[in-house]
Chains A and B, each alone.
Chain A
Amino acid sequence: MAKYIVKRMAIGMVTLLIVSTVTFFLMFLVPGGPFLAEKAPSAATLKALEEKYGLDKPVPVQYKNYMLRLLKGDLGTSLKQRGREVNDIIFTRLPVSARVGGWAILVAVVLGVTLGSVAALNRGKAIDNVIVFLSTCGIAVPGFVVCTVLMYFLGAKLNILPTFGLTSYKHYIMPVIALSFYPMSYISRLMRSCMLDVLGQDYMRTAKAKGVSQWAALFKHALRNAILPVVTYLGPLLAYTLTGSFIVEKIFTIPGLGDSFISSITGRDYPLIMGTTIFLAFLVITMNVVVDIVYKLVDPRIKLG
């Protein structure tokens, strides 16, 4: 097990290197620069700024400098939010996104697994059709529509929930719903089809023949077999949801990481682009390793390595 984790982490490092290299060069291929604004600074100021941040050097040299600093864990300083370290930005904004995202994942998993199982158990009945319809909507309707519809009804019309900020539990409700709607729908669809598959398996018949009650058979024998694909999906989901969604954070004005990720690109804030990308890549890789280990715990047939 330990050997496997070390091996996976080593492969992960190589992946990180590739991700950072590709991002670095692509970033400079995009026209524009960090200091262009409506009121463009004078040529002399621009030159001084570029010199200060080392942007006047050729890209390969900049790459070398960046990678050397990266090895020390230094992600550089932001070009837009003057004087703020990228590390600092990530670690003040991540907890905000992670808190909203964490709740969203919890809601998505609990509701998704429950709805999917309920649908499978009532296959073809009215409740199944309702769940399938809802989850299809959840996958088809884009996030910004969900956000605005929620905002319009719960915020503007009924005026029961605040539409921006993140200062009380009430502020969490709409962003969490908006953020969890898609994964919840996806998980419930996944769960439904896996559950149907598992319910038809011979070992479920064996359980019944042993005198196991329907609920015990469902919770003990079926759930653990049916939940495997959900576990797989959970890896990337965790990474992407914990780092926040640009759309949800923009619409509900949440000062999270997802927002600064996209703003960094539009603002050509090179160090922040690199920092957030590498951080996200790191998270995806880590979560996938975690998922593999969880997978092994759930299904003993799986061999790691």
Chain B
Amino acid sequence: MSEYLVDIQNLRLSFFTPAGEVKALNDVSIQMKQGDVLGIVGESGSGKSVTAYSLMGLVPEPGRILSGSIIFNGHRIHEMSEKELRQIRGNEISIIFQDPMTSLNPVFTIGNQIEEVILLHTDKNRKEARERAEELLSLVGINEPKKRLRQYPHELSGGMRQRVMIAIALACEPKLLIADEPTTALDVTIQAQILELMNELKEKIGMSIIMITHDLGVVASMCEKIAVMYAGKIVEYGTAEEIFYNPQHEYTKGLLLSIPKLTATEHEKLIPIEGTPVDMLMPPQGCPFAPRCQNTMKICLKEMPPYTDINEDHYSACWLLQKQAYMTMKDGVAR
């Protein structure tokens, strides 16, 4: 068994849509140790959710894994049958989704929905499952858990429902919790509460977390490691400190510049990243970010940049970091 809890190697995944092949993941590798908290950051369509879903064997149709391997806790996820995957889902890996308003089934009580996952994966009987559900609701900070168990989702607020989703996710003490933009649909004060709760639970339970978000603020408050994704590729990976204070990839730099600062003066404008995201049906030949990059070179348009190690756990895929690229700089900047 490898030392990693999560070991994704060279994963290539495409969606075969009627319009053509969408290369959603292009050579993605991620390693996480037990207890790690990883943030995956990127814009919509960058492949951050698909990466996490593939870990649960939940690749939506018409997606196919083309090559690479996904190993979680010793299980070879990419080779497992649906039946085997069911044993893991909700048990060893759980997930919290973006929209708590629609993620709970409206016609069943909260209790029923928490107990369901307990009954599925443990040999507790109904009574024990109910007790556990009550315990879980207290754990996620819901008052009057006995009463809440009998209530339906529509009787609870958005923040409460997300707490219920977290309770469901934690029911079987998973080794890994995937949080897919857990706070995007919530208002700011509730966001802070949910993040605080997750931080607290991380300490208490000691599970690993993958936090998927496009909000760098969320990542900064929770994650030790950050993977920045762009067009189905991890363009930069490093510790939170490295990413925030020593960004290497032009896209990461752009993302950081586009965050509003508290210290900004009244008339200081935010700096957006110019251009539009790549058309994944026809990705460019070279670096996918090249068309939007401020410092594009000729080679960027032709060849995919390899990863350059900045230090022990910080690497980035950008030609500007490659010595051989500087050799071709003689040709001058492309634009």
Contact = CB atoms under 8 A, between A and B. Distances in A.
Given A202-B102, A209-B58, A224 B107 contact: yes
A300 B102 CA distance: 15
B298 interface: no
B116 interface: yes
A212 B116 CA distance: 9
A202 to B, nearest CB: 4
A206 B89 contact: no
B87 interface: yes
B99 interface: yes
A170 interface: no
Given A208-B58, A209-B95, A210-B120, A301 B89 contact: no
A211 B89 contact: yes
A206 B103 contact: yes
B97 interface: yes
Interface in B86-114: 86-91, 94-95, 97, 99, 102-108
Nearest to B101: A202
B120 A212 contact: yes
B153 to A, nearest CB: 9
B154 interface: yes
A210 B154 contact: no
Given A208-B58, A211-B89, A203 B105 contact: yes
Contacts of B99: 202
A210 B116 contact: yes
Contacts of A214: 82
B152 interface: yes
B117 interface: yes
A214 B83 CA distance: 10
Contacts of B82: 214
Interface string A266-305: 0000000000000000000000000000000011110000
Given A202-B102, A211-B120, 16 more contacts: A201-B102, A202-B103, A203-B102, A206-B165, A208-B58, A208-B89, A209-B95, A210-B94, A210-B116, A210-B120, A211-B87, A211-B91, A211-B121, A213-B86, A221-B108, A299-B106
Interface of B: 56, 58, 82-83, 86-91, 94-95, 97, 99, 102-108, 116-117, 120-121, 152, 154, 165, 168
21 contacts: A202-B103, A203-B102, A203-B105, A203-B106, A205-B97, A205-B103, A207-B105, A208-B58, A209-B56, A209-B95, A210-B90, A210-B94, A210-B120, A211-B86, A211-B87, A211-B88, A212-B116, A212-B120, A213-B83, A225-B107, A301-B106
